[in-house]
A and B are shown apart, each in its own frame.
Chain A
Amino acid sequence: MKIDGTVVRGDHFSGNIAEIRKFAVMSLSWLTVIFVAVWGVCWALGIFIPMCLANSSFDFAAILSEVCKALTPIAAVLVFIPINAMFMVLMERRALALFTRRNGPNRVGPDGALQTAADAVKLLLKEDITPTGADALMFTLAPIIFFAPSIFGALPLLAAVTNNHKLFQIVDLPTGIFYVLAASSVPVVGIVMGGWASNNKYSLMGGLRSAAQAISYEIPLVLSLVTICLLAGTLDVVSIAYQQSGGLLNWNILGGGALIGLNKAIAALVSSSGAPFAEVMNAYYPYGWLSFVGAAVLCMCTVILFGVYLIGACAEINRIPFDLPEAESELVSGYNTEYSGIKFAIFFLAEFTNLFIVSTIAVVMFLGSGDCPLPTWLNPLSYPAVYEPLAKALSPVLSVLINDLHLINPPTFWAALWVIFKTYSLIFFAILVRGTLPRFRIDQLMDFGWKRLIPITLVIFVLVAFARGVINFHV
């Protein structure tokens, strides 16, 4: 690297291009491995085994296949969580290296792609130490209580992110988002428990800070999601995902459905076949300019809510800039100071899983779940002429895969691709925040939560409750 002005700039740039390419290749290959593996397990357990059993004649075949189908969501989550956490740790380290002009892990495997796999093996083989004077029962229970809710909390989201695939309909609960929120409020118990049981003052401080922080930031987090539920009129995540289908304008981040009318009106204008523009507009915005003001207010409110949600979620899962419970420089990494070996691995796994889950919730609740951002009237894929030749050429292969083996389900496939893209973009954003912002001080944290976020969300809640009266939603 040269110190000289102009040359340095170009040098930086070309150096980073190579690193970015490596990062992209690494991410894509890991993602392929993860999702092929997860879908392979789901398909084998939920479709292939029942298909084989359907032809067999022994007594318990029907029941066994039902059991297999019922176990599929759990198996999917259990397979997904460890591999995904390995990838996310690697992604975080590589991305942070990118932001700070370092190389990141690059020794184990091609370009360091197997670094975290090696780390995982190391963690599992390490000695599991229980410190002297620790409360052994609570010390063991703490990582379990911290981790278990993230498994159960992930389940209702499965149906929403796979476009309600029939394998995952069993976990589609009528109280979906409430269930996820309830599950996400449990891990703080694990942190306080672990902090207390470790018999270490730093751990105890970390646990206490975590309790204060989680309670303060849970309120704006829940209120922001509740406001979205108010707009959607349901708690069911699949319904919320379906309501947002049809392009960017229908997503909850833009008015929570306030712009659906506009979307439909433009579609009518473009296609020039259906109802005329003005008629559609009148059906959705019956009060003239008042309705337009309402729509504008709703758009503004939901964008702010999205920001509040991201902040609250960051605080809930103890990410920088809210990582006070595990601040390395102040508390020697707080509640998990005394943890080692497999218990530490579980804490670590749960933290990254929680990051993934809050990103998925954001995608489902705000960013249209598995929906393509292009509106239908702009999307080339909604005009069959574009892709028909290709589909025809591949049809013999595809028909075997889709209709006979059920290995590919096109609606689920496209939805899942979009969800994966959006979720990992949000995770990348969280890493970017980590690479950018310094840590809060504890009093600033409390002030910000109680004096800023909660009033903002309450005001928005009231605004939304009134503004939604002047617009017709989901006609």
Chain B
Amino acid sequence: MVDQIMHTGNKPAPTLATTLAFAIVAISITVAFASGQLVTLLLNLGLNTFAAYPEIFVFLVIAVLATIASAMPNSNRLAIVSIAGVMGYIALTYNQDMLIKYLSLAALLFSIGMYGMVVSRNAVRVLMSIELMLNAVNLNLVAFARYVDPVHIRGQIFAIFILTVAAAEAAVGLAIVLAIYRNTSTVDMEKFNLLKW
């Protein structure tokens, strides 16, 4: 029984080659951008539009490469997406203010949560995605409290209220999931379509 609960690694292990190649390319392009050599390279190549916004260029390159790499057979998609996310984030925010770095991170986490909420079939995972989104919002508020309103720190106080609401939401959400499970013996979101005509 427990074996069934903890099914782990019954898929063939993905090969490392694609992932590693992608990681090396993504990291080197980000480092080149951070050290400023990418801009000179782009100018030498005559790509002036991209040289004005090198971070967009890096982001696009990484996104395209990630799509290609994850489409390869036997690649470790999770690792590729993670590396692409981290490197894209670093490239987009490297030359920005501290505030924008925090806000972008929060936006990224929020988008990840939103995507998870849309695509997850497991109701518990949907709840987790919602928690992730709420936390990203909290990060926003605390960053504002630090950089825009350090005297009254209203952002932090608002974040406390969000924390309580998140706790209430999680409690009720889990109880609902539990109740649904009792009626349908599943937590699959696709099967909760009783109200669909």
Contact = CB atoms under 8 A, between A and B. Distances in A.
Interface of A: 133-135, 196-197, 199-201, 204
Contacts of A204: 2, 5
B6 A135 contact: yes
A60 to B, nearest CB: 27
16 contacts: A133-B6, A133-B8, A134-B8, A135-B6, A135-B8, A196-B6, A197-B6, A199-B2, A199-B3, A199-B6, A199-B8, A200-B2, A201-B1, A201-B2, A204-B2, A204-B5
Nearest to B1: A201
Given A133-B3, A135-B8, A201-B1, 12 more contacts: A133-B8, A134-B8, A135-B6, A196-B6, A197-B6, A199-B2, A199-B3, A199-B6, A199-B8, A200-B2, A201-B2, A204-B5
Interface in B1-43: 1-3, 5-6, 8
Contacts of B2: 199-201, 204
Contacts of A134: 8
A201 B2 CA distance: 6
A44 to B, nearest CB: 39
Nearest to B3: A133
* Size bracket, chain B contacts: under 10
A197 B5 CA distance: 11
Give the dominant DSSP class at A's interface: loop
Contacts of B3: 133, 199
Closest A-B pairs by Cβ, 7 of them: A201-B2, A135-B8, A199-B6, A204-B2, A133-B3, A199-B2, A135-B6
B185 to A, nearest CB: 20
B129 to A, nearest CB: 20
A197 B8 CA distance: 10
Nearest to A199: B6
Nearest to A138: B8
Contacts of B6: 133, 135, 196-197, 199
A459 B5 CA distance: 42
A65 B15 CA distance: 48
B118 to A, nearest CB: 27
A137 B8 CA distance: 11
A199 B6 CA distance: 7
A200 B6 CA distance: 10
Contacts of A199: 2-3, 6, 8
Contacts of A197: 6
Contacts of A200: 2
Contacts of B5: 204
A71 to B, nearest CB: 28
Nearest to B8: A135
A204 B8 CA distance: 15
B14 to A, nearest CB: 15
Nearest to A202: B2
B71 to A, nearest CB: 26
Contacts of A196: 6
Nearest to B2: A201
Contacts of B8: 133-135, 199
B132 to A, nearest CB: 17
Nearest to A204: B2
A204 B6 CA distance: 10
A327 to B, nearest CB: 18
B170 to A, nearest CB: 13
Nearest to B10: A133
Nearest to A132: B3
Interface string B141-178: 00000000000000000000000000000000000000
Nearest to A133: B3
Nearest to A203: B2
A135 B5 CA distance: 12
Nearest to B7: A133
B89 to A, nearest CB: 24
Interface in B90-140: none
Nearest to A200: B2
A133 B6 CA distance: 8
Nearest to A135: B8
Contacts of A201: 1-2
Contacts of A133: 3, 6, 8
Most buried by A among B1, B3, B5, B8: B8
B10 to A, nearest CB: 10
A337 to B, nearest CB: 12
A421 to B, nearest CB: 41
A201 to B, nearest CB: 5
B191 to A, nearest CB: 26
B152 to A, nearest CB: 19
A142 to B, nearest CB: 14
B171 to A, nearest CB: 12
